[in-house]
Amino acid sequence: MIRCAVVGASGYTGAELASILLRHPDAEIAGMFGSAREGEARRFSDLHPRFRGECDLEIVPTTADALRACAPDAVFLCTPHEASALLVHELLTAGLGAVILDLSAAFRLPREDAYVRHYGFTHPRPDLLPPHELPGRRTERSGPAGAVYGLVELRRRELAGASLIAVPGCYPTSVILPLAPLAENGAVADGSSPIADCISGVSGAGRTPSERNLFCEVSVQPYSVWRHRHGPEIEAYVGRDVVFTPHLGPYDRGIVSTMHVQLAAGWSGESVRDLLGRVYADAPFVRVLPAGSWPSVNGVRGTNFCDIGLASQGGHLIIVSAIDNLVKGASGQAVQCMNVRFGIDERAGLATGAQA
């Protein structure tokens, strides 16, 4: 059994992760950890009542010694970006020896200066950032082993030996899976920038309350236009500029991303569909839908699937994806990475979808 520690267990992604690990045939939850600032220790099921009698572990303050005491094989960090960066540094310095799967953005971006600009902190371990991406080509790793970007469908081989895995963001997953193969294979017209309009459920904002997320205030609206933190991540792994606009939707979970692409000469909707079918032929969680079928939030809710539909007219391609932001956009993707890293069936714990 793979012994798993969950750090940041009080949030939505921590709860989703626990739900998946509890039914995983080859994994067990060895410990649950939270911030020392949360005060008196509480049981996981007190924060998430649906787990009463199923997971009543105490959430204890996170320290390297406490993590070492539970002897984990895998540590999942469901923590804020800067906290993850500092904690990874601490755990590596302490020689924990477990595989670290970070669900924050602390190790996703290839450029050190991007953390100051987009996340507001100086990165403590720039040597662990993933290699720079080049347009249309994935860069081979060289030098000291750093983080591996955990998009299994495009990084499977690198994940097999990774000790630090940067689990992709929810919006980037929904955009990179459809667009990266097009950019890499020359299907996007030169000089054009794909447009990605994405709508996420409210859980994408986390559990901390704000006025915009109140029941009586939530609506369909764009936010963080031109300045959302996921923009640089999308561009780094698509391999070209992308005009990305996120929207908040009045539902709890799920993302639908509608992308507009100016196709290069010789490409059509059918040739794009054929390309995606070949690229994802062995990817159990990517479903390229038949012509005339379109993804939906309900079609992927509680699952680790990414559904993709598309159509073209006059050289303009509309391609739409849908994922569950808490599963394929976070916790399910993290478990998929763990499965590949430990050499077990990548569908383990995920084949029936997470409990919505």
> Is 60 exceeded by the pLDDT of residue 239?
yes
CATH of residue 243's domain is: 3.30.360.10
| Mean pLDDT value of segment 301-312 | 97
- Give me the torsion for CA of 161, 164, 169, 174, rounded to 10°: 0
Question: Does residue 10 sit in the same domain as residue 117?
Answer: yes
Q: How far apart are CA 9 and CA 231, in angstroms?
A: 27
* pLDDT value at residue 287: 98
Per residue in 253-286, pLDDT (tens digit) is 999 999 999 999 999 999 999 999 999 999 999 9
- Within a domain: 266: yes
Catalytic residue list: 170
Half-sphere exposure of 9 (CA within 13 A, CB side): 32
Bridge partners, 295 (sequence order)? none
Residue 297 confidence (pLDDT)? 96
197-208: average pLDDT? 79
Compute the distance between CA of residue 223 and CA of residue 81 in angstroms, rounded to an integer. Answer: 20
Q: Please check whether residues 184 and 85 belong to one and the same domain.
A: no
Helix residue spans in 166-318 (DSSP H)? 170-184, 230-238, 269-279, 297-300
355 located within any domain: no
Question: What CATH number does residue 152 fall under?
Answer: 3.40.50.720
User: Is residue 177 classed as helix, strand or coil in its secondary structure?
Assistant: helix
Q: Is residue 107 part of a domain?
A: yes
In the chain, the percentage of residues whose pLDDT exceeds 70 is 90
pTM: 0.92
My answer on whether 333 and 314 are in the same domain is: no
Q: 200 pairs with which residues across the strands?
A: 248, 255
Q: pLDDT tens for residues 54-109?
A: 888 999 999 889 999 999 999 999 999 888 999 998 898 888 889 999 999 999 99
Sign (positive or negative) of CA dihedral 124, 13, 96, 237: negative
Tally of domains in the chain: 2
In this structure, are 107 and 253 located in the same domain?
A: no
Q: Please give the backbone phi and psi of residue 77, each rounded to the nearest 5 degrees, phi first.
A: -105, 105
Residue 134: pLDDT band (50, 70, 90) is very low
Over 90: is that where the pLDDT of 129 sits? yes
Q: Are residues 207 and 254 in the same domain?
A: yes
Q: How confident is the model at residue 118 (pLDDT cuts 50, 70, 90)?
A: confident
Q: Residue 165 class from Cβ within 10 Å (0-12 exposed, 13-18 middle, 19+ buried)?
A: buried
Looking at residue 221, its pLDDT comes to: 87
Is 352 within the bounds of a domain? no
Would you state the pLDDT for residue 227? 86
Same domain? For 6 and 136 the reply is yes
Do residues 166 and 85 make contact, with C-beta atoms less than 8 angstroms apart?
Answer: no
Mark whether 124 and 180 lie in a shared domain: no
Are 38 and 64 a contacting pair, CB within 8 Å? no
Mean pLDDT of the chain: 89
Residue 39 lies in a domain: yes
Query: Does residue 174 fall inside a structural domain?
Result: yes
Same domain, 162 and 273: no
Same domain, residue pair 139 and 288: no
Tell me whether residue 240 is in a domain. Answer: yes
The boundaries of the domain holding residue 127 are 2-168+328-341
On the question of pLDDT at 173 being above 60, the answer is yes
Q: Give 77's strand partners.
A: 7, 102
| 202 and 216 fall within a common domain | yes
- pLDDT value at residue 94: 84
pLDDT band (50, 70, 90) for residue 208? low
* Chain position carrying tokens 């969950």: 6
- Specify whether 6 is located in the same domain as 45: yes
283 in a domain, yes or no? Answer: yes
Using alpha carbons, list the distances in angstroms from residue 154 to 168, 192, 239, 282: 12, 23, 13, 11
Residue with the larger pLDDT of the pair 149 and 9 = 149
Q: Cα separation of 86 and 64, whole Å?
A: 11
Helix axes 170-184, 230-238, angle to 10 degrees: 20
Question: Are 164 and 182 in the same domain?
Answer: no
